Structure 1
Amino acid sequence: MYISLYDLAYFILFVLAVIIAGYLIAVLRRALGVLSLVQGILTAHQGDIRATVSLFQETLTNVNELTVSLKEATVQTASAVRAIPSEITDTVEDLRESFETFALYARIAGEVVKSVFSK
């Protein structure tokens, strides 16, 4: 009695199918164990999860208000930053005019002192 190649291939495929099925059963058993652990954790913290989810609406409202406030602050800051160069220029111009006036008054005072004490 000989075994044909067809029967040998059929036996090998059967053995592979049994091994793969065993492996899949082990993987599914492990996955079910993990899922039952996750379900236990979710059940234990169900009240905390509901409290957190109930705060989402309030948090979203606060984030929207913060976004609007930040946008307004950005607009105000942008306008202030745009105004700074002109204000600096005006201040420098005023200081230059003040120094020129001070220099003119100092020259006049110097001339008066010179003319008074030179005699």
Structure 2
Amino acid sequence: MYISLYDLGLFILFAVLVTCGIYLIAVLRRVLCMLNQAQGILNAHQGDIGKTVSMFQETLININALTVTLQEATAQTTSAVRALPSEITETVEDLRESFETFALYARIAGEVVKSVFSK
């Protein structure tokens, strides 16, 4: 009793298919267990999920209001920052004029003191 190559190839092919089938069944069983566990978690937290989803609308409204407020604050800050250099320049000019006036008065006072005490 001899086994032909055809029968041997058929047997090897059948063994590979059976092994792949068993492996596929094990993988599918594991995936099904994971999906059942995920469904259990979702069912356990159904109320929390519903509450969270119902708050999305309010959250989006608050985010939109915050965005508008932030844009307004940015616009005000931008205008204030742009006005700042001109205000600094005006303050420096006023300060320089005050120092020049003070220096002039100091020179005049010095000349008066010089003329009074020099005689």
Structure 2 equivalent of residue 25 of structure 1? 25
Q: CA deviation at 1:48?
A: 0.6
- Once the two structures are superposed, residues 82-115 of structure 1 have per-residue CA deviations (whole angstroms, 9 ceiling, x without a partner) of 1111111111111111100110011111111111
Name the aligned partner's letter for residue 53 of structure 2: V
Q: CA deviation at 1:2?
A: 2.0
- Once the two structures are superposed, residues 14-69 of structure 1 have per-residue CA deviations (whole angstroms, 9 ceiling, x without a partner) of 11111111011111111111111111111111011101111000000011111111
Runs of 4+ that moved beyond 2 A: none
Name the aligned partner's letter for residue 91 of structure 2: T
Unaligned runs of 5+ in 2: none
Name the aligned partner's letter for residue 60 of structure 1: L
TM-score of the pair, normalised by structure 1: 0.94
CA distance in 1 between partners of 2:85 and 2:5 (Å): 93
Q: Aligned residues: percent identity? A: 76
TM-score of the pair, normalised by structure 2: 0.94
Structure 2 equivalent of residue 95 of structure 1? 95
CA RMSD of aligned residues (A): 1.0
Number of matched pairs:
119
Unaligned runs of 5+ in 1: none
Structure 2 equivalent of residue 71 of structure 1? 71
